[in-house]
Amino acid sequence: MKFRTLVGCVLAGVLVAGSAMAQQAQPIVIKFSHVVAADTPKGKAAEMFKKLAEERTKGRVKVEVYPNSQLYKDKEELEALQLGAVQMLAPSLAKFGPLGVKEFEVFDLPYIFPSKEVLRAVTEGPIGMSLLKKLESKGIIGLGYWDNGFKILSANKPLKSPADVKGLKMRIQSSKVLDAQMRALGALPQVMAFSEVYQALQTGVVDGTENPPSNMYTQKMHEVQKYGTLTNHGYLGYAVIVNKKFWEGLPADIRATLEGAMNESTRFANAIAQTENDDSLAAMKASGKTEFYQPTKEEIDVWRKTLLPVHKDMEGRVGAELIQAIYKESEKFGFKN
């Protein structure tokens, strides 16, 4: 071989090796899309996951968090996950119906969780795990449950009793159980993406809505809702989900590290949710823009009595056995159903 040819071969070899190394050094990117503000329990937990994942994989994984429906709205983000356009989401449990896993709507049943302890026993026990398993046939893996809080009602008129909600157009998430809940109150439920709620309230497209204080405050809904009632009538939480093909295709050591980071982020999310919501409620009260009403125990009983028939009505939707299984969990904590 001539000297020039030899030098050429060596150089080409160096270049190929160099580009292979450069390719190897490319981090694995996880796009994490969500619809709420960064300054919420979900937004903060997503940032915590990013921090832990990037630190512990020493930069081999890069997590890009896109809050506030920046990339996708509610329905689109689930499609994007299945197509692999994003890798991670944390949709609310009310949003899995359109995906074909309607059992998650059991979490929407009004007054089904008498306490956070009961909720935790469900999400961290066999019921929660078996629900996550149902996602696998949809090409999705569920990594855990993140808390937000209990929902309050809001509108531009005082809502002291269920009769006050009658005839109001109330925005809901895309859940048949939430639809039934609003109808039980005599309201007209309107399914709408989260990103559109503020404007719909402002322009009067809908009269009112329900959400935990953290979402209400960070979307500035309190600026366009004169009254709120602390009914705590339903729960809002999330399942953190990933594209199955992506997750299973990760190098085993990376996946294990990410699972550890996720478990810690889950603990973090569930530890901050209550305080975040308490702080948001306090901030809204201090703003003086929304007047909040705390129903008495007797008044809560009226809300409960009006809404409990929804459990029976929705047996066909979420499954009678699943509802019974949750009742059993509450009984373990001394609550009667």
**Cβ 197 to ligand LMR, closest distance in Å?**
7
**Cβ 98 to ligand LMR, closest distance in Å?**
13
**Binding residues among 204-263 for ligand LMR as defined by CB under 6 A:** 211, 215, 236
DSSP-derived secondary structure letter, 335: -
**Cβ 229 to ligand LMR, closest distance in Å?**
17
- Interface pick for ligand LMR out of 69, 87, 123, 173 (rule CB under 6 A): 173
Closer Cβ to ligand LMR, 107 or 247, answer by number: 107
Contact string (CB under 6 A) for ligand LMR, positions 297-316, x = contact: --------------------
**Cβ 262 to ligand LMR, closest distance in Å?**
18
Among candidates 260, 256, 238, which has minimal Cα distance to 247?
256
**Cβ 35 to ligand LMR, closest distance in Å?**
5
Among candidates 173, 152, 296, 148, which has minimal Cα distance to 228?
152
- Angle (nearest 5°) at CA 217 between 156 and 230: 60
The angle, 0 to 180 degrees and rounded to 10, between the axes of the packed helices 126-133 and 116-124 is 50
For residue 188, what are its two tokens?
């007209």
Closer Cβ to ligand LMR, 150 or 194, answer by number: 194
Q: Is 270 in the site for ligand LMR (CB under 6 A)?
A: no
**Cβ 188 to ligand LMR, closest distance in Å?**
17
Total of residues contacting ligand LMR (CB under 6 A) = 9
- Interface pick for ligand LMR out of 72, 104, 145, 194 (rule CB under 6 A): 194
Classify the C-alpha dihedral 96-40-228-226 as positive or negative.
negative
Closer Cβ to ligand LMR, 181 or 330, answer by number: 181
Closer Cβ to ligand LMR, 148 or 290, answer by number: 148
Closer Cβ to ligand LMR, 151 or 317, answer by number: 151
- Amino acid letter, residue 267: R
Chain centroid offset of residue 304 CA: 24
Q: Is 35 in the site for ligand LMR (CB under 6 A)?
A: yes
Q: Is 36 in the site for ligand LMR (CB under 6 A)?
A: yes
Closer Cβ to ligand LMR, 128 or 149, answer by number: 149
Among candidates 101, 123, 63, which has minimal Cα distance to 269?
123
Closer Cβ to ligand LMR, 48 or 61, answer by number: 48
For residues 267 and 149, give the distance between their C-alpha atoms in angstroms, rounded to a whole number.
15
Among candidates 220, 195, 221, which has minimal Cα distance to 207?
221
For residue 8, what are its two tokens?
């050429």
- Read off φ and ψ for residue 86, nearest 5 degrees: -130, 160
Q: Is 300 exposed, middle or buried (0-12, 13-18, 19+ CB in 10 A)?
A: middle
Q: Is 273 in the site for ligand LMR (CB under 6 A)?
A: no
For residues 5 and 12, give the distance between their C-alpha atoms in angstroms, rounded to a whole number.
10
List interacting residues with ligand LMR (CB under 6 A).
35-36, 92, 148, 173, 194, 211, 215, 236
